[in-house]
Amino acid sequence: MNFLATTKNLHFPTNNANLKTLFNKYVDKTCVYSWNRVIAELARSRNSLEALRAFASLRKLSLIPNRSTFPCTVKSCSALLDILSGKQTHQQALVFGYESDLFVSSALIDMYSKCGVLGDARKLFDEITQRNIVTWTSMFTGYVQNDNGYEALVLFKEFLREDSVSVDSIALVSVLSACSRVSGKGITRGVHGLLIKSGFEGELGVGNTLIDAYAKCGNVSIARKVFDGIGERDVVSWNSMIAIYAQNGLSMEALEAFYAMVIEREVEYNEVTLSAVLLACSHAGALQLGKCIHDQKVPLNTHFKYLGNMREIIIICVKGLTSSNSAKNLSFPQVIKTDLEDNVFVGTSVIDMYCKCGRVEMARKVFNCMKEKNVKSWTAMISGYGMHGHAKEALEVLHLMQREGVKPNYITFVSVLAACSHAGLLEEGRHWFHTMSQEFHIEPGVEHYGCMVDLLGRAGCLDEAYNLIKKMKVRPDSVVWGALLGACRVYKNVDLGEISAKKLFELDPNNCGYYVLLSNIYADAGRWKDVERMRIFMKSHGLVKPPGFSLVEAKGRVHVFLVGDKDHPQHKEIYRYMEKLSIKMQAAGYVPDTTSVLHDVDQEEKETVLLVHSEKLAVVFGIMNTVPGSTIQVLKNLRVCGDCHTAIKFISKIVNREIVVRDSKRFHQFIDGLCSCGDYW
């Protein structure tokens, strides 16, 4: 809307009583300086429309604006994203001879950038002959705001050749934000060196943005060094570090930083902090800790022990503080206690945490209680149902979302299609794949195609899946081709398997999982020479399959098991219990599925190998170390194997326990000998 056009006939800037008081206090109607004070005050207090009305009234009185009139007026146009009023104000500035004023020009560059008219912003910038740091920074920021970090860095390189202008901390923040979007390690290091040379290394705003820049280019360790080097950190510093750890799957490091933040009480946590910590709980499958953050008390001297891959990481989250009386008396930060449950971002994080920790029914309770929901909240609930195999419930939430007038977005449809794939809802998946583009005008991306190829492949429609890939408007990635390769393994399609594998070898040549899958397809077809060829290739190229491991939470600790694990203190008791269970399972009809074990191993050895898979060991440990009748929660880093899936169904019935396994693809809820996936996974 053109606000200046709608207010041009006003002699008085507002009908608001409080603003009238302000007007009467400051304004001599014949004095432009008085009007400038009112416009500035209104702009600062975000009464942007009133500020434009004041400017319109000033012009109606035939007063001549000066260089102080325009920056705040332009700022108000920016706040309202009113490009028409902004252009009119620009024209007025030209009429009164302020086209070369740097403060007016900088404000106009900022206004054009925020309104998305970046070409006009750059044209104005290029017309300025003598630029100051504010002008340069306005243009840097304009590129960053419009997701064009590369051009911001190109411009910064040009700036560095200017001897007459020195860089300041605000400019560096903009440039580092550009580095975050370009994700270039060398570029970020170069800017880092410049800010050290310029003496801004310890500046808080610069440091916080530098942390984010290093994190975006995948260098978490240097981000931590920058964090440690900041003298007085604020809540943004802590939140950034916790979020970086959580987003990179370093859940225990995130929790350790959170503990340090809470116990040291360096700063007060906020809703962003809790959202980041809940994300860490989601990745770690730490249900009890997540519940504590949501609505329960837990003393801070509780230890949470995490053993990482190959047992190289051991972190005790509270180091040396458990003997402190002050630490013992502290209670854990809670979402409910701090009245943040109604915060839409925190509420969505709680939903995501419960879903990823296997408690979708608790997630739905939180969802139902939320007073405000945004598209992310609805999508989190749809995704949660989908990953648990409850596709019908996911689609019900989608329909409810539409009835509430919330428009699904790109990610929503990824969750919808994934839900259809997990449950084998072929027709529903086809329907929503076409509906998203035809009705909602959302072009399918590689994630949507990946879900559809997976859905078609699982249903045995391999030719349709392959034809869909060939028609893709975006380049298929390893997820798309991997879905087709996995389906080829299930349906023993050698020809399409070889086509998929060839593409995958080009996209991700160091992922040995694809070579193993193709080798298994050859083995199923009896092509033993090709099996041997795959093995020789993998060995000669040093390709080793990453070890599978499983996590289980018990007695306040997260325990990790590898296949054939003998490092755990209770490993002897676990194996004895497993042998007893095996006898009962076979009596109940369990027959080991040895198809996933190496073909050159005899049958008895194959069955022995299957018994010591990490998920079986984690389940048995959970049975031995939790209260009878309670749910056992296991997290697996790889896809659960067919034999373990069958075995856990038998175990759930024999011990009368609910067992929830979250693997790399989805959740499996085992109850009374059945799985929620319906054996379709």
The DSSP code for 299 is B
Last residue of a domain, one of 487, 518, 541: 541
Angle between helices 287-295 and 271-284 (to 10 degrees): 160
Residue 671 lies in a domain: yes
Q: Can you give the residue range of the structural domain that contains 30?
A: 17-129
φ, ψ for residue 259 (rounded to 5)?
-60, -45
Task: Give 593-638 as a DSSP string.
Answer: --TTS-TTS-HHHHHHHHHT-HHHHHHHHHHHHS-TTSPEEEEESS
Whether 388 and 529 share a structural domain: yes
- pLDDT on residue 307: 32
- Residue 50 contacts by C-beta under 8 Å, 6 or more apart in sequence? 13, 14, 16, 19, 42
In a domain, 90, yes or no: yes
Judge if 615 and 563 occupy the same domain.
yes
Cβ 563 vs Cβ 575: under 8 Å: no
- 557 and 492 belong to one structural domain: no
Residue 679: the pLDDT is 84
Q: Tell whether 29 and 118 lie within a shared domain.
A: yes
Residue type, 441: H
Instruction: List the CATH number of the domain containing 492.
Output: 1.25.40.10
Dihedrals φ, ψ of 558, to 5°? Answer: -100, 120
Answer yes or no: are the C-beta atoms of 483 and 466 closer than 8 Å. no
As averages over each run of 10 residues, the pLDDT of the chain (681 residues) reads: 50 52 63 87 88 88 90 94 94 90 94 94 93 94 94 94 88 92 81 90 88 86 91 90 89 86 80 89 81 65 36 30 39 65 86 91 93 94 94 96 95 97 94 96 96 95 97 94 94 96 94 91 93 92 84 82 88 93 93 62 50 89 93 89 92 95 89 88 73
User: Does any domain span residue 65?
Assistant: yes
580 and 651 in a common domain? yes
Both 496 and 584 in one domain: the answer is no
95 found inside a domain? yes
| Same domain flag for 533 and 562 | no
Question: What secondary structure, in 3-state letters, does 548-593 show?
Answer: CEEEEEECCEEEEEECCCCCCCCHHHHHHHHHHHHHHHHHCCCCCC
| Same domain (yes/no): 493, 607 | no
Q: Are residues 388 and 537 in the same domain?
A: yes
- Residue 595 confidence (pLDDT): 63
Q: Name residue 450's beta-bridge partners.
A: none
Q: At what angle do helices 410-423 and 426-438 cross, to 10 degrees?
A: 170
Q: Which among 255, 320, 313 has a CA at the least distance from the CA of 289? A: 255
**402 and 503 share one domain:** yes
What pTM did the predictor assign?
0.76
| 627 domain residue, yes or no | yes
Cα–Cα dist 29/14, whole Å: 14
pLDDT at 296 (0 to 100): 58
Q: Is 525 exposed, middle or buried (0-12, 13-18, 19+ CB in 10 A)?
A: middle
**DSSP result, 61-112:** TTPPP-TTHHHHHHHHHHHHT-HHHHHHHHHHHHHTT-TT-HHHHHHHHHHH
Quote the number of domains for the chain.
3
Distance CA 570, CA 625 (A): 10
> Coil, helix or strand for 157?
helix
User: Starting from the edge strand earliest in sequence, which strands make up the sheet with 674-675, in order?
Assistant: 557-562, 549-554, 632-636, 659-662, 667-671, 674-675
Look up the CATH number of the domain holding residue 75. 1.25.40
Domain assignment present for residue 97? The answer is: yes
**Same domain, yes or no: 561 and 577:** yes
* Sign of the torsion angle spanned by Cα atoms 192, 194, 199, 203: negative
CA distances from 228 to 134, 222, 457 (A): 30, 10, 49
| End-of-domain residue from the set 129, 162, 181 | 129
Asked if residue 575 is part of any domain, the answer here is yes
Decide which of 106, 129, 152 is a domain's last residue.
Answer: 129
Is residue 205 a part of any domain in this protein? no
pLDDT of residue 164: 81
Q: Is the domain of 583 the same as that of 497?
A: no
Could you read off the pLDDT of 90-140 as tens digits, one per residue? Answer: 999 999 999 789 999 999 999 999 999 999 999 999 999 889 999 999 999
